[in-house]
């Protein structure tokens, strides 16, 4: 997992509540065995018609938001079934950060395990960012995880972050990396167990 420090990226405003994982990545595209390749199917039923042609009224098909790195949405983002593929699809499409007022718990955990930063802001700040992101000129935000700030031109918005999750993202530590860092303690524990034998009665 790559360390997450800070970056500047364009914002795509998806103004909907209760966006579930079945819409983020529909079930018919869950057959891939790798973590890559899911981006092309992100929000497929909203992005494309039955003939596979892009729907012009969907935000990700708007030229203003091409190559957006930040997805802005509303409350309860990522609800529904607990498919990790939803996180893979968002990341594979190119999103590095999602900003919303709340998230489904399982989706929230899956994102941080895969290096996708979720930022939680109150409804008022989310409303303000929607106003900025829907102006004729595309909105770009600078996200600094170390300082826990979002910068929009001269405006700075502070966000809260769990210290443990922040450390994992900054250092690029997933579950495997965290376990590997404790390898010496695990080996010492296993060697200690080998001194004991099963006593049969």
Instruction: Give tens-digit pLDDT for 186-195.
Output: 666 566 665 5
Instruction: Give tens-digit pLDDT for 120-135.
Output: 999 999 999 999 999 9
Confidence band of 198 (pLDDT split at 50, 70, 90): low
pTM recorded for the entire structure: 0.87
Q: What is the C-alpha separation between 167 and 164, in angstroms, rounded?
A: 5
Nearest to 97 by CA among 73, 74, 71: 71
Instruction: Give tens-digit pLDDT for 36-57.
Output: 999 999 999 999 999 999 999 9
Token pair 């950060």: residue: 97
6-172, which class in CATH? Answer: alpha beta
Q: Tell me what pLDDT residue 40 has.
A: 96
Q: List all residues 6 or more positions away from 18 whose beta carbon is below 8 Å from its beta carbon.
A: 74, 75, 76, 79
Q: Tell me what pLDDT residue 42 has.
A: 98
Q: Tell me what pLDDT residue 166 has.
A: 95
Average pLDDT across the chain, whole number: 90
SS3 141: strand
Q: What is the C-alpha separation between 38 and 26, in angstroms, rounded?
A: 10
Give yes or no for residue 181 having a pLDDT over 60: no
The token duo for 26 is: 């529909």
Mean pLDDT of the region 5-32: 95
Backbone angles phi, psi at 153, to 5 degrees: 60, -115
Confidence band of 31 (pLDDT split at 50, 70, 90): confident
197 compared with 69, residue with greater pLDDT: 69
């Amino acid at each position: 997992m790559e360390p997450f420090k800070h970056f500047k990226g364009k914002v795509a405003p998806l103004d909907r509540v209760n966006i579930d994982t079945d819409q983020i990545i529909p079930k018919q595209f869950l057959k891939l065995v790798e973590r890559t390749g899911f981006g092309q199917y992100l929000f497929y039923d909203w992005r494309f018609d039955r003939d596979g042609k892009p729907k012009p009224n969907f935000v990700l098909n708007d030229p203003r938001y091409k190559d957006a790195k930040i997805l802005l949405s509303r409350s309860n983002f990522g609800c529904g079934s607990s498919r990790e593929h939803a996180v893979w699809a968002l990341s594979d499409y190119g999103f590095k950060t999602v900003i919303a007022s709340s998230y489904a718990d399982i989706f929230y955990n899956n994102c941080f395990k895969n290096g996708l930063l979720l930022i939680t802001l109150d409804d008022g700040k989310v409303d303000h960012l929607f106003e900025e992101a829907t102006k004729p000129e595309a909105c770009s935000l600078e996200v600094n995880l170390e300082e826990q700030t979002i910068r929009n031109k001269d405006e700075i918005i502070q966000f809260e972050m769990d210290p443990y999750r922040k450390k994992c993202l900054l250092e690029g530590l997933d579950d495997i990396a965290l376990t590997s860092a404790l390898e010496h303690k695990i080996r010492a524990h296993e060697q200690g167990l080998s001194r004991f034998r099963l006593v049969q009665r």
